[in-house]
Amino acid sequence: MSNYVTAIGLDVHARSISACAFDPMTGEVSRARFGYDPASVAEWALGFESPKAVYESGPTGFHLCRALRALGVDCAVGAVSKMHRPAADRGRKNDRRDAEWLARLLACRNVVEVWVPDERTEAA
């Protein structure tokens, strides 16, 4: 398991990414919003101490994970079927809250990571 200090949750859509960085030692939370641009996300994430990012598996695929890893950001894709939301949160979905929820799950090491295939395998 990698050692990281800052947990970053990403709520990823085809045209936008909402991000939330959470430092569990200080409780500090930082938020940002990007167009679908891995370089901008990586630049922002690398401004934190030992960052690790996570986003939910889904229709956006694994491109963002591979791109962030290539840019030096430790990134994982979480198995959405293994993430349990409190019942009160199910009806209040928004990108900003989802990104923070992912960051907090990652900070407490409660994310089941999925295997990230290379481009050729994903295309098959």
Q: Which pTM was predicted?
A: 0.88
For residue 86, the model assigns a pLDDT of 67
Enumerate domains of the chain plus CATH numbers: 6-114 (3.30.420)
Which segments within the chain are labelled E, that is strand? 6-12, 16-22, 29-35, 51-56, 74-78
For residue 2, the model assigns a pLDDT of 55
What contacts 81, CB < 8 A, 6 or more positions away? none
For residue 95, the model assigns a pLDDT of 84
Mean pLDDT of 90-118: 87
What distances in angstroms separate CA 30 from CA 15, 85, 104, one per listed residue?
21, 22, 12
Tens digit of pLDDT for each residue in 38-97? Answer: 999 999 999 999 999 999 998 888 999 999 999 999 999 999 878 777 665 666 668 889
Structure tokens given for 12 = 């990823």
